[in-house]
Amino acid sequence: MADPLTITHPNMDAKWFDMAVHRAHLNGCRVIPTGVAGVLFVTSGSSNVTYRVTRTECCCEGHRRVGKCQHRALACAYADIYRKIERTADSGTAA
């Protein structure tokens, strides 16, 4: 039996996290792998800027100001969803 998919999003409560992921999708933010474990790039969507993001840090101005942002929310969601898909694939069980 599959274990439940949980997403870890430090310093973002559930409501804020949901809103931030939704806003990131609306803005067209994209997640790009870096090849480095625990690090992703996330595009701003509205400009050509790309941010370096970990589960706890993002180099954008908003994150510097308030300690959370849509880029990090999106990265947390992607990281945990991808890991879940990988684990499901590895286990050889049907989806």
* Binding-site ranges for Zn ion (CB under 5 A): 58, 60, 63, 69, 71
- Find the shortest distance in angstroms from Cβ 48 to Zn ion: 15
29-50 exposure pattern, b = at least 16 Cβ within 10 A, e = fewer: bebeeeeeeeebebbbbeeeee
Residue 27 CB neighbours (<10 A): 15
Tell me whether residue 32 or residue 85 sits nearer to Zn ion (CB atom): 32
- Find the shortest distance in angstroms from Cβ 40 to Zn ion: 11
Tell me whether residue 9 or residue 63 sits nearer to Zn ion (CB atom): 63
d(CA 14, CA 1): 26
Tell me whether residue 47 or residue 91 sits nearer to Zn ion (CB atom): 47
